Amino acid sequence: MYDEKYINEKSLVPVEILDEIDSTNEEAKRRIRSGKNEDFVLVARKQTAGKGRKGRSFYSPMDTGIYFTFVHFSDSSVSDNLKVTVATSVIASKAIKEVLGIDCMIKWVNDLYLNDKKVSGTLCECILKGTYENDKDAVIIGTGINISTKDFPDDLLMKAGSLSEDPIGTSDNIRNDLVVYLTNGLNDFFTDPDLSGYLGFYNEHSLILGKSVELSDASGLLDKGTVKGFDEKGAIIIENEAKDLKVYDSGEISLFML
């Protein structure tokens, strides 16, 4: 079980644990709409309509994973979702290493992989100042981590995995410590939102650096080539088949097998 008292004693931002919610990101938006204007964190034991990127869903059964949303309010425009998303993948990967001793690889932008299966993802959204009479911009960072999730729906069976075969112990602090680490890590990032301190780890743990990939979006294939690195904003640098270096700040990567 989560221990809300333990988590809040160690966290730099208030954390609320919910038993069940449609989506912690959607609940965060409702809180913003009803006037919340200081940073906060929501964590759910279960989500009934967990959301992924690109309109996908995020499978979130009871007590098998972390379903976590951090909301940061800012006076200045914080439209730089890419930077936040890259930083979050580093924070989540370090949290998993610290708490569970497991090394995950990062697939641009922010998917964490273990044994070729996706174990974590982040959906970053932004509510601009004035949208709901909110007088600050709000960045909503929703991270899901499959700790011991099993029985994935058919469409995820081949792609999704978990960090552990075993159910989460009720007497250990795994989930509490992961929540504290994520909360304080994101709070640190927003205190000094410079990606340079995160890129070393990001590169070292990249699943795709130096590999042949295809980049596509909803309209189809954007480019094909070798991943050369990531710039200071987290954009991907690809050397394409014409040997041109191209920088992209969005799109979906697939590993291209030769």
Residue 189 binds to ligand BTN (criterion: CB under 6 A): no
99 neighbors 93 (Cβ within 8 angstroms): no
Determine whether 44 is exposed, middle or buried from the number of CB atoms within 10 Å of its CB (0-12, 13-18, 19+): buried
Q: Show the CA angle centred on residue 248, arms to residues 245 and 254, nearest 5°.
A: 95
| Interacting residue with ligand BTN among 143, 149, 162, 183 (CB under 6 A) | 143
- Any residues with CB less than 8 A from the CB of 159 and at least 6 apart, and which? 117, 118
Alpha carbons 58 and 145: distance in angstroms, whole number: 10
Both structure tokens of 77: 């425009």
From candidates 7, 29, 32, 50, binder to ligand BTN by CB under 6 A:
50
- Least Å distance, CB 135 to ligand BTN, is 25
Name the residue nearer to ligand BTN (CB basis): 202 or 225: 202
What does each C-alpha distance from 2 to 7, 75, 157, 170, 174 come to in angstroms?
8, 32, 27, 9, 9
Question: Is 124 near ligand BTN (CB under 6 A)?
Answer: no
11 binds ligand BTN (CB under 6 A): no
Residue 75 · residue 136 · CB < 8 Å: yes
Q: How far is the CB of 60 from ligand BTN (least distance, A)?
A: 6
Span of 138-146, 170-178, 192-200, 248-256 interacting with ligand BTN by CB under 6 A: 138-146
User: Is position 52 an interface residue for ligand BTN (rule: CB under 6 A)?
Assistant: yes
Q: State whether residue 139 is helix, strand or coil.
A: strand
Nearest to 149 by CA among 135, 167, 176: 167
25 scored as a contact of ligand BTN (CB under 6 A): yes
CA pair distance 157, 99, nearest whole angstrom = 26
Contact 49, 23 (CB under 8 A): yes
Residue 59 binding ligand BTN, by CB under 6 A: no
Q: Which is nearer to ligand BTN, 61 or 225 (CB)?
A: 61
Among 17, 99, 123, 253, binds ligand BTN (CB under 6 A): 123
CB of 159 or CB of 233, closer to ligand BTN: 159
Nearer to ligand BTN, 47 or 93 (CB): 47
Query: Measured from the CB atom, is 82 or 225 closer to ligand BTN?
Result: 82
Q: Does 53 bind ligand BTN (CB under 6 A)?
A: yes
Q: Quick check: 29 binds ligand BTN (CB under 6 A)?
A: no
What would the two tokens of residue 240 be?
A: 């394409």
Of 82, 84, 144, 175, which lies in the binding site for ligand BTN, with binding defined by CB under 6 A?
144
Task: Give yes or no for a contact between 66 and 178, defined as CB atoms under 8 angstroms apart.
Answer: yes
* Least Å from the CB of residue 244 to ligand BTN: 29
142 binds ligand BTN (CB under 6 A): yes
| Site of interaction with ligand BTN (CB under 6 A) | 23-25, 47, 50-53, 56, 58, 67-69, 111, 121-123, 142-144
